[in-house]
Amino acid sequence: MKIKISEIPEAGLTVSERFNPVEMSLQTAELKFTAPLEVTATFQKERDTVLVQVEAAGNTEMVCGRCLEVYRQPFDGRFDLGYELKGKVALDITNDVRQEILLSYPVQFLCRPDCQGLCPKCGKNLNEGSCSCSR
C-beta atoms surrounding 105 within 10 Å: 16
Res 135: pLDDT: 54
10 Å CB burial of residue 89 (0-12, 13-18, 19+) is: exposed
Query: Of 21-25, 84-88, 98-102, which range is least confident?
Result: 84-88
pLDDT, tens only, 56-89:
999 999 999 999 999 999 999 999 999 998 888 9
- Neighbouring C-alpha atoms within 13 Å toward the C-beta of 41: 24
CA angle 123–127–130, rounded 5-degree value: 65
Residues 39, 28: Cα–Cα separation, whole Å: 19
- Residue 41 backbone phi and psi in degrees, to 5: -125, 135
**34 contacts 72 by C-beta, under 8 angstroms:** yes
d(CA 131, CA 134): 8
Model confidence over 117-130: pLDDT tens digits? 999 999 999 999 99
Indicate the average pLDDT of the chain.
94
Residue 52 near residue 41 (C-beta atoms within 8 A): yes
CB 64 within 8 A of CB 110: yes
Model confidence, pTM: 0.85
Helices (H), the chain: 94-103
